Amino acid sequence: MTSLDDMASDWGSYQGLKTVSVSDQFKHASIQRQREMLPIYRHRDSITYLIESTQVVILIGHTGSGKSTQLTQYLHEDGWTKDGKIIGCTQPRRVAATSVAQRVAEEIGCRIGETVGYSIRFEDTTTEKTVIKYLTDGMLLRELMIDPLLRRYSVIMIDEAHERTIYTDILLCVLKKVIKKRKDLRLVISSATIQAHEFAKFFGDKSQIISIEGKMFPIDVLYLSEPAENYIEKTIQTIFDIHIEEPDGDILAFMTGREEITKVLQAVKDRSFHDESSVRLLPLPLYSGLSQDEQNAIFDPTPPNTRKVIIATNIAEASVTVDGVIYVIDCGYVKVRTFDPATKIDSLIVTPISKASAVQRAGRAGRTRPGKCFRIYTETCANELDEVSSPEIQRSNLAMPILQIKSLGIDNIAKLDFVTPPPVNLVINALELLYSLKALDDYAKLTIPDGLRMAELPLNPMLSKVLLASASYGCTEEILTIAAMLTVENVFYKPRDEVKAADAEHRKFTVEEGDGLSLYNVYQEFVRSKKSSKWAYDRYLNNKSLVKAVSVRNQLVRYLQKLEVNVIKSSVPATADIVRKCLTLGYFSQAARMQPDGSYKLVAAQDVTVWPHPSSVMFNRIADWVIFTEIVEVNDKIYILGITTIERDWLLELAPDYYKVKRR
Ligand code: CDP
Ligand code: MG
C-alpha cells in the first residue's frame, strides 16, 4: 500500500528528527532492532498481504512472537490509518490493554494518547491523534452501541480470542454481522492453535488461517511424585530450590490470585533476607489492579547478580510476556468466574487448569533458551485435566451482556449466531433479573428510558438501577459516591505488621449500616482533607484508589447528564435509611439473613451458607437482614462483600414480583 503520500510523510518525520537528542536516537535504534528480532517480523509481508485480500484473518503464533505489539504498527505503517481511520486491538484484560499500549507507544516514540492510546472502563486515554487503539473487549462492545458499524475502524484485531471471554464471544458474533455490511473492514483474530479451526469454521469462506508458529526451545517438564499438601508452600519452596540449584534465569510462578501472590511475595522477601547466596532474589507481583509503576517494574531488565521471581496470575499465561524467564512454576490452578443460575451465586472459584493452559504455561519457559517447568501436581493429575477450559459465555451471569446486546437492537438472543451458544438456563436467568429490575418489559424488550440507560451506564445492571433510582429518592449525591467507591478496589490498606493501628484508623469511618455507607464516609473525609495523600496515608487508606474514585464519580456524573436523568437536588443530605432503601432497589436479589453463629443464609437459595468477608466492615458484627454487592467462594467457603443492613419488609415492598413466591 506504499504510495507517494506515504513517502511524503516519511520525509516529514525525518526532518523532525533533527530536534531529537543523540541518546534518544540510539535508544530508538535498539528498539527497532528488537522489533526486527521478533518471530512475526519474518512473516510481515505474508500477514499484511493476507489482510489486504481476506476479510477475516486468523493468526496463530506463540506467545511473545509479537502479535499484539507489532501487527498494529505494521498496519499503521502500511497506510491502514489514512483518511481518519483507526486500528483497534481488543484485549480480554485491562492490564494487557494498558501494558501493550505502553510498549507500543515506547516503540513508536510517542506518549500514550498520541499515536497510541488505550481505553478501558473509566479510563479512556485516546485523543483525536490516536490511530492505534488498544481496548478491552468490553469497551469495543460499548463502542458498538454508539456506532453499530464501527465506521472509524479500518482493522479490528480480536486478540487472545482463544481465551473465549464472554465479550470476545459476543464481539465475534456481532462483528460477523458487521463485516457483511462493511466490506472494507478487516478482522484479525489472534488465537492459540487449539481454537483456530473453530474460528475458521465460524467465519466460513470469508476467513483464512495463517500460522507464524516457529520453533520453541525444549522445555523440561517436571512433576511432583506425591500431590502437594499446600501448593502455595510448595511453590515457595520450589522457588528457593531453583534459586539454589539451577543456573541463572528468571522464575515465573503462577498463582490464582492477589492474596496468594502477596503471601508468596512476602515469604520470598522474608526468607531471602537470610539467604547468603551472591545472587539476589527480586520478587515482583503481576496481577490486574497493579499500578502502572508496579507493572513497569516487571518489564525492566533484570539488574546484575539478580534473579527475578515474577509471581503472577493467569495474566502471564498469554496476555503479558516477560522476557528472560527460564523457569516456570505452575500451581495447576486458576481462578475462574462461574455463575450458578440455581443459587444465583456469581463466584470466583479456584479450579484446576486445562491441558491447553498447562502447555501454555510451560511454554513461557522456552522463549529465549531451553527452560524448565515445575508442575506442582502429579503426572496422573495432569493427565486427568480437561482439554480446554469452557468458554465464559457458558458459565457467566449474562444480565449485562444481554442488556447490551438488546441495546444494539438485537432482540432475539436465541437467533444470534454464537461460536458456542450460551445455555438456555443462563439466558432465562438473565432475562428474569433484567425484568425484575424493570430493564425489560413484559415482551422482553428494552424499556425506554430506564433499560436503555442501564445498558449505557458502565456499571452492572443492579448498580445502574440503584443509581437511576436515586434520582427520585433524592440521594443521588450519596449513591454516586458509593457506586464510585464500590467500583475501585482496596480502599482500606492493612500492612501486615500494623494491622491493629490500621484497624483502629479504619474503625473511625465504619458505621453499623455496612460497607456502602462506611465507604461513603471515607470519601467525604478524603474530599474534606482536600484530597491529601498524606491524610490518606496516615489513615491507612489507599490514596490511588481514592483518587480513582473521584475520577469515576465525575465520569458517572457526566453519564447521568448525558443520559438526561432528572436528578432531584435536595439541600440536606439523604438519611441513611433512604440510601439503604435505594441500594435495596437494585440488590434485592442478593439478600441474606444472619444466623446465630454469625453466618448468613441466602434468601434466594436458603440452603447456602455464606460468611461476611474479613475485608467487610460487617465482619464480626451483628446484623439481621442484609444485601450484598459481591459474592466469592474461596476454599469451599462462600464470602459476601459490600454488605448493607436492610429491613425485611423492604424486600417485599421494593421487589414484590421477585419475592411473591416466598411471601405465600
Ligand atoms: O502478542 P504476542 O504474545 O505474540 O507478543 P507481544 O505481546 O507483541 O510481545 C512481543 C515482545 O514485546 C515481547 O517478547 C516483549 O519482549 C515485548 N514486550 C514488552 O517489552 N513489554 C510489553 N508490555 C509487551 C511486550
Ligand atoms: Mg499478545
> Considering only CA atoms, which residue is closest to atom 19 of ligand 1?
103
**319 C-alpha to ligand 1 centroid (Å):** 9
Contact 577, 562 (CB under 8 A): no
Local structure of 486: helix, strand or coil: helix
**Which stretch of 86-95, 268-277, 299-308 has the lowest confidence by average pLDDT?**
268-277
For 52-63, b/e burial (b = at least 16 CB within 10 A) is eebbbbbbbbbb
Which atom of ligand 1 lies nearest, measured to the CA of 99?
23
**63 C-alpha to ligand 2 centroid (Å):** 6
Q: Which residues pair with 112 in a beta bridge?
A: 116
pLDDT bin (cut points 50, 70, 90) of residue 24 is low
Q: Which of 582, 561, 573, 560 is nearest to 644 (CA)?
A: 582
Say which residues have a Cβ less than 8 Å from residue 486's Cβ, sequence separation at least 6: 463, 516, 519, 629, 642
Say which residues have a Cβ less than 8 Å from residue 443's Cβ, sequence separation at least 6: none
CA distance 642 to 590: 11
Taking CA atoms, 190 is separated from 14, 65, 150, 207, 572, in Å, by 33, 12, 19, 12, 54
CA distance 108 to 116: 8
Res 552: pLDDT: 97
3-state SS string for 498-528: HHHHHHHHHHCCCCCCEHHHHHHHHHHHHHH
pLDDT value at 27 more than 80? no
CA distance 469 to 472: 6
pLDDT bin (cut points 50, 70, 90) of residue 25 is low
Residues 273-323 have pLDDT tens digits of: 766 677 889 999 998 878 778 888 888 888 888 999 999 999 888 777 788
CA distance 523 to 308: 38
Is the bond leading into 614 cis (omega within 30 degrees of zero)? no
> Considering only CA atoms, which residue is closest to atom 24 of ligand 1?
100
Q: What is the Cα 606 distance to its own chain's centre?
A: 31
More confident residue, 1 or 600: 600
* From 69, 75, 91, 132, mutation site for ligand 1 pocket: most ligand atoms within 8 A of C-beta: 69
Model-level pTM greater than 0.85?
A: yes
**262 C-alpha to ligand 1 centroid (Å):** 25
Q: Which of 28, 42, 117 is nearest to 74 (CA)?
A: 42
The set of cell numbers assigned to 369 is: 533458551
pLDDT bin (cut points 50, 70, 90) of residue 661 is low
Contact 17, 25 (CB under 8 A): yes
Q: Cβ(69) to ligand 1 under 6 A?
A: yes
Q: Cβ(299) to ligand 1 under 6 A?
A: yes
List phi, psi (to 5°) of 574: -70, 150
Residues 201-234 have pLDDT tens digits of: 999 999 999 999 877 789 999 999 999 999 999 9
CA distance 377 to 255: 13
Those residues whose beta carbon sits under 5 angstroms from the ion ligand 2 are 68
Taking CA atoms, 133 is separated from 6, 78, 96, 155, in Å, by 21, 16, 13, 11
CA distance 58 to 168: 14
The set of cell numbers assigned to 265 is: 511475595
CA distance 58 to 190: 6
Contact 281, 307 (CB under 8 A): yes
The set of cell numbers assigned to 317 is: 499465561
pLDDT value at 10 more than 70? no
